[in-house]
Amino acid sequence: MNDLPRLLSRLLPGDPVGVIFPDGAEGAVTADRLALIKKGRGPGAIVRLVDGTELPAALDYATLFRRLSASPNWFKPHIDHLVNLDRLERIGEASSDRYQLHLAGGAVAPLTNVYAPDLKSRLSLDSLDHVIPFNRPAYWMLKENLRDIEAPINKMEKPELLATFGASFVVSDIIGNFLWQFVNRIRKGVQPPLTGRNVRSLWYAIKPALSKLGVIHGMDHYKTVSKKLADYVACGMMRYREFGFAEEGNWTIGTRRPEIIIAAEKRSDIGYLRLLRKSFGTSVIALGGKPKTITSEYFTDAFKAKVTDYHKPGRVLVIGLIDYDPSGWIIGNTFLDDLRVFGIKRARLVNLITPANYTPEEIEINKYSLLDPEAGDDSEDPPDGGYATTLEKWMKEFGGINGEPYGLETDSMILDDAKVRRLIKKVLDSLKSKGRVTG
Amino acid sequence: MPRKKSPDAPIDNETLAKLYALVVRLVSPLPPIPVQGVDFIALIRPEDIAFITPEKRGVKIVDREGKSWPRYDNITKIEKRLSADPRFFKAHRAFLINVELVRGIKVGKSEKAPGKVFFRGLPDDLFAEISEDALPELKKRLGF
C-alpha cells in the first residue's frame, strides 16, 4: 500500500491548471487531461491536452513546472518540457542517438540524453532502442510487413495475389514476402535451393506472378529483388548461401597468415593479389568497387572457418590497396561494415595508398584532381559552400594532398611491385613485433 | 450509538486497504508493458490490456481498443511479470485476461469447445477462451 500516493497521482496528477481559451476567456483544466506543458515565448507556458488542444497557461512556466513536478507522475525530458507519464504512448527515435516522446493527443516532446536513464528507471525499461526480449527476425517481419503465407506466391494467379496483397498492392511488398517465403520453403525442405545459380533466378521465379498483375514494365524490379535480398541478408534474416547461389570467388583465404587480408579495390587485381598471397600467406580479396554483400558473406564464412579467433581485438587486419580518394574511402568502409555484419567486428584497415608512402616527386607525378570541371569544380579553392559533401568529409578526415583536393590511384603503387611488397612486409613486421601475427 | 469520525481523523488500515483495492481496480500498480513497433516502443498500460495470448513468435497483447501488439516473450513470463496486478487472471493455458474489462462469458460444452470470454468495447469475434478448470474462479471474481 506504500505506492498509494503514486497510484492516486496517476488518477489526478496535480491541481487544476489555469488556461486562456482562444476567445480570451479564462478557465481551468484538470491535471489528468494534460499531456505536457512546455515553455512558451518569454516566461509563459503552453499546455497540451490529451485531445490535442494547445492552450496558453495562466501561470508562467517556472511556477507551473514547480507545482506539477511535485506530483510523481510528471517527468522532465527536456529543459523546456514536462510530460505526464501516464499519457506517454510511444518512445521513438528522432535520430540515431536521440529519442522523442509521443503523448496522447499527438503531442511530441524531445528527450535529452541526460534524462534518458531516469526515464528508463521510471518506466522499468531495459532499453530505449527496442523491447527486450528482442527477436530480430520477428522485428524485421513487422518492419517489412512480412507474413507467413502458405501458398507459393510465385505460383499464385491474379485473384489470389489480389486477395493476399490487396487491390492497392505494393510490388516491393510482394517481392519481400516472396523472398521470405522462398527461403523458409528451402529451410523446410519443400523447395530445392537454386544451386549454382544467382539472384536473377529469383527474379525469374517471381516475374510471372508480377506479370499477372501487369507490373513488370516500366520499372526494373530485378533491382528490387536484389536490393531487398541484400537488406535481408544484412539484417540477418537470411543468407545468400541458403539459396545456394554461385559467387564469383575473387578471393582466397591465406595459409600462413590468414588473419591478414590484402584487399584491392579493383577486380582486375585478383591475379596480382594471388601472387602476393603466395609470397606472404595472407588472405586476399578483390572488392570490385563497393563490395557485393554476397561476396562478403561467402568470404567471411570461409575466413571465420580458418581464423577461429577472429573476434579477438587486433587479430584481423585489412591491408588496403584502395584508391586514396573519397570513393576509395567509401569502398574501404563498406568492406569493414560488411565484415562487421558477418561477425568480424574488430577488423582494422591500413591502406597502403596514402601520401605517406610516396616521395614528393612520386606524388607530383601521380596525383590527380578530385574536382570535376564538368560540374563547374574547376578551381582548386573550395567553393563557397565547401566541396561536395563526400569530398568535403574526406578532405576533413584525410586532408587530400597538402590540403588540396587531390587523390592517388592504386595503380600508381601496384606498378612498383617491389615497393608494394616492401610496404606489406613493413606492416607485417610491425605486427610481428607486437606478437599479433602468426607465421 | 457509535461516534461519528472526524474528517481529520487518521484513516485506519482496513479503510486504507479498501481504498487501495479500489484504486488498483482503476489503475495498475505496475509500469506499462513495452511492446515493439516499427522504429518505436509502444507502452501499454496494464489496465488497458484486454487479454494476452501466445502467437508464433511470442505473444499477442490485445488492448481495450482491439489493437493487437506483438511482444517477443512467452505467456508464462508475462504472467509472472503481471502477477502483482490482481486484474489479471489465467483463464486458459493460452489466455491471460483482464477481469476488469470482462463484459460476459459463454460457458463451453466440452473440453474441446471451451468457454468464451468477451470484453467491454471489443466485438464478439475478439474473445479469449476459458478452460473448465478456471471457470469457477472466474465466475466467483465476476460475482456469479
The grid coordinates listed for A23 are 476567445
Residue of A nearest to B29 (CA): A7
* Shortest distance, CA B43 to any CA of chain A (angstroms): 5
Predicted pLDDT of residue A353: 97
Q: For the whole prediction, is pTM greater than 0.95?
A: no
Q: What is the mean pLDDT of residues B25-42?
A: 94
* B1 has pLDDT over 90: no
The grid coordinates listed for A112 are 535529452
Mean pLDDT of chain B: 92
Predicted pLDDT of residue B13: 87
Where are the alpha helices (H) located in A389-416, listed in sequence order?
Answer: 389-398, 411-414
Instruction: Give the pLDDT confidence of B41-92 residue by residue, as tens digits.
Output: 999 999 999 999 999 889 999 999 999 999 999 999 999 999 999 999 999 9
How many alpha carbons fall within 13 Å on the CB side of residue A316?
Answer: 25
Hey, are the CB atoms on B40 and A148 less than 8 Å from each other?
no
Query: Beta strand pairing status for A282-286 and A257-264?
Result: parallel
Contact list, A90 vs chain B (CB under 8 Å): 37, 40-43
Measured CA distances, A329 to A260, A333, A370 (Å): 19, 6, 13
Predicted pLDDT of residue A5: 87
Hey, are the CB atoms on B37 and A148 less than 8 Å from each other?
no
Amino acid at site A93: E
Other C-beta atoms lying within 10 Å of the C-beta of residue B1: 3
Predicted pLDDT of residue B92: 94
Predicted pLDDT of residue B57: 86
Q: Tell me which H or E stretch contains A407.
A: strand A406-407
Q: What gap in Å lies between CA B30 and CA B25, rounded to an integer? A: 12
The grid coordinates listed for A90 are 510511444
How many alpha carbons fall within 13 Å on the CB side of residue B25?
Answer: 11
Residue of B nearest to A1 (CA): B20
Residue of A nearest to B27 (CA): A7
Predicted pLDDT of residue B2: 61
Residue of A nearest to B31 (CA): A123
**Interface membership of B38 toward A (CB under 8 Å):** yes
The answer to whether A20 and A56 are in contact (CB under 8 A) is: yes
The grid coordinates listed for B107 are 460457458
| CB-nearest partner of B43 from A90, A130, A142 | A90
Output phi, psi for B30, to 5 deg.
-100, 155
Hey, are the CB atoms on B36 and A139 less than 8 Å from each other?
yes
| CB-nearest partner of B29 from A3, A124, A137 | A3
**Interface membership of B84 toward A (CB under 8 Å):** no
**Whose grid coordinates read 541478408?**
A233
Predicted pLDDT of residue A376: 52
Give a three-class secondary structure readout of A308-330.
CCCCCCCCCEEEEECCECHHHHH
CB-based burial label for B101 (10 Å; 0-12, 13-18, 19+): buried
Digit-by-digit pLDDT tens for chain A (439 residues) are: 788 988 998 999 999 999 999 999 999 999 999 999 999 988 899 999 999 999 999 999 999 999 999 888 999 999 999 999 999 999 998 876 789 999 999 999 999 999 999 999 999 999 998 999 998 888 899 999 999 999 999 999 999 999 999 999 999 999 999 999 999 999 999 999 999 999 999 999 999 999 999 998 878 899 999 999 999 999 999 999 999 999 989 999 999 999 999 999 999 999 999 999 999 999 999 999 988 999 999 999 999 999 999 999 989 999 999 999 999 999 999 999 999 999 999 999 999 999 999 999 999 999 999 987 665 554 455 545 455 578 989 999 999 999 999 999 999 999 999 999 999 999 999 887 765 544 4
Residues near A85 by beta carbon (within 8 Å), at least 6 away in sequence: A73, A74, A75, A122, A123
- Interface confidence, given as ipTM, is 0.89
